[in-house]
Structure 1
Amino acid sequence: MTDYTLLGRQLDALLDTPDWLTNSAQTCALLMQEIPALNWAGFYLQRQPNMLHLGPFQGKPACHPIPFDKGVCGAAARTRQTQRIDDVHAIADHIACDSASQAELVVPVVVDDRLWGVLDLDSPERNRFSEADQAGIESLVEIFIARTTF
């Protein structure tokens, strides 16, 4: 089980610049290194209306762009609510960038009531993300927002 309190302290110390690009790259690297059973961790950014564009990530090459009306990332962006999916293959409009991905957790990044993007985590294990993982990742996103200038 991941110690999200410790991971939060590590992330807070790691984000020693307000630069969004540096902080998002560092966040992805830390998540891939410290959270077991991930095969992708990255940000998708809202750079135009109703569309997500690939940002910093760790893992295999990714899908780009993602419209708000498609997939788990699109749902998180559209609703501004975290999406925790135990079996991505049960989602009719799931966008399969990596066929090895089985579960997904997507947290919207909302800054000053504006969607900046989403943090997307994929796992090769079904049922990988628990409620505790969701709460832990959401707390890490809050640290990322607090330490970053957008």
Structure 2
Amino acid sequence: MVPDMEDLPPFDLSRFTPYRLAVAAQKTSEELARQYRARFGISIPEWRVLVHLAQAGDVSVRDIEARVAMERPKVSRAASRLEEAGYIRKTPNAVDRRLVRLSLTAQGHELMQELLPLAQAYQDDIENRLGAVLDGFEKGIDRLLGRD
């Protein structure tokens, strides 16, 4: 027998903040991804690895995993595809060969010279869409991330 839905406590998923944040994040991420996927043939995980390397320089897979909220296997697969494409270089740690540092190649640097303005234009678009509520939105995100 199927339980009666009327027995459940009241709950409005459309107002549930974690759900709404996840949907908004997915939607905005996909909007930008359509642009760079069409122009450069890269995926969201590949974008995240590239942009992190452009910001942080040489870093480990573990560093990227921690900073961009992606699981290690996904970071590793994205890094392997980017290495095959010539955008990044993997350098094994001399002491522990299991640890690998990633860095942009000259080709990866050239790619980021095209990708970063695309991302900035998208950021500008988001800011325009948010308009007067942008400052409060940013403060709210910072608070949720523990940066207040």
Band the TM-score falls in, shorter-chain normalisation: 0.3 to 0.5
Q: Which has the larger radius of gyration?
A: 2
Higher relative contact order (CA 8 A, sep 6+): 1
User: If each structure's strand is expressed as a fraction of its own residues, which one has the higher value?
Assistant: 1
Q: What TM-score results when the alignment is normalised by the length of structure 2?
A: 0.35
Q: What TM-score results when the alignment is normalised by the length of structure 1?
A: 0.35
